[in-house]
Amino acid sequence: MEFELSKKQQELRDNLNQLGRFVIRPMSLQMDREHQVPATFLQQFVSMANSMRSDDDLAAAFGEGKKEPPSLDKPSFTNRTSLIGAEELAWADASVLLCLPGPGLGGPPIRATGTAEQKQKYFGMIHDADKRGELAWGAYGLTEPSAGSDVSGIQSTCRKDGKHWVINGRKCYITNGARALWVVIFASVDLNKGRAGHRAFVVEKGTTGFSVGKIEDKLGLRASETAELVLEDCRVPEENLLGGEDAYLTKSTGFQTAMKTFDATRPLVASMALGIGRAAYEHARDAVKDRYMIGRPIARYHALVERLAKMHRRLEAARMLTYRAAYMADVGQPNAKEASMSKAAAAQAAVKACVEAIEICGAEGTISKEDALLEKWFRDIKVYDIFEGTGQVQRVVISKRIFSDLKSF
């Protein structure tokens, strides 16, 4: 595996770092207080991203372009490049990354399972809005009050009624759920069938029976929108069944769609956690350098440096796991175990980095004031050990993958 970044990747990292340092961070605490990212900034960011996007990128977004899957001989660099961008933006303010217009978490399941017509329609809706200068989002609706990390436990139901599907259920903690043009919704045709009964649908905003419940008031990531979605006899056209009827005849396509999404997004979430953890580590490192190297007892200085060294080691080790998971996806290799390993390691390393930074900085780290970013990062980081599958669930996935190879046990 090659660890050197390409010239384009280095430029992306450096440009986003400068954007984060001089534009995003100065307004980070205001966004946190006001619970929103300014629409003007999002418009400018989208315009900048579009100017850097090639025709090949656009074709890939619509499920077109290269038909050959990635391989060792012909690897993709999409996943690894996404990690670089995600870490830098999270280093600046993770809420901004979650708020960026686009298909969001709804994109991977449509790319993985959707028909050509579905890809054209739903990615096209985002693209057309973009051309009109409008902000547009997609979303991913899996989590429920009684099921999230345990995907097999979802209680939302669906039944066929003529040329429509009727969906009933309630989804919670859906990122950008209230403003999304469409949401990928998971439901079951038969709760007794477990994962075999799962179906995935694209439900469009304004569909009869589809409404937004409450908008969550959260501990962290307060500038990002997290919504409850309610489906009450929601009638969805049969062509909105993700992948079409035939996709569900012989296998658990709905459940597999959810799992494929996690395999793609867990390394991305891990890189976001690393961005926050790195920010906290650098803040504590600079505080020690500025205040403890001169005029403090040598023994205390060495104790603090040892703590910083442990923080740095954990973050670097987690980054290598995360890049490995993305690399495997880029060469077309199954990465479910590695994706869970990266998420579990990165979230823990970043949470510990934020806790250590708070303790090293003392009272300064816990007081909320105009420039108190460390206190904000401390609030933001905890959810990274929860969403996209809790740390406990990641360890279950890892252990299952390990023992699946031990046929004699």
Residues 242, 201 contacting (CB under 8 angstroms)? yes
Residues 6+ apart with CB under 8 A from 129: 135, 136, 181
Which tokens go with 408?
Answer: 């004699």
Q: Is 296 left (phi over 0), alpha (psi -120 to 50) or beta?
A: beta
388 is catalytic: yes
d(CA 235, CA 203): 9
DSSP calls for 245-273: GGGGSSS-HHHHHHHHHHHHHHHHHHHHH
From residue 319, alpha-carbon distances to 87, 133, 311, 322, 331 in Å are: 10, 36, 12, 5, 18
From residue 296, alpha-carbon distances to 81, 271, 302, 369 in Å are: 42, 35, 10, 26
Instruction: State the alpha helices, DSSP H only, in 20-77.
Output: 28-34, 39-52, 55-61
Is the alpha carbon torsion for 378, 379, 382, 384 positive or negative? Answer: negative
d(CA 387, CA 148): 8
Residues 109, 257 contacting (CB under 8 angstroms)? yes
Which tokens go with 2?
Answer: 């090659």
Which one of the listed residues 88, 228, 338, 388 is annotated catalytic? 388
Q: What are phi and psi of 356, to 5 degrees?
A: -60, -40
d(CA 288, CA 389): 35
Q: 298-330 and 336-361 helices cross at what angle (nearest 10)?
A: 160
Helix (H, G, I), strand (E, B) or coil at 236: strand
Residues 13, 84 contacting (CB under 8 angstroms)? yes
In the block, residue with structure tokens 């990465």: 335
d(CA 156, CA 187): 5
* Residues with catalytic roles: 388
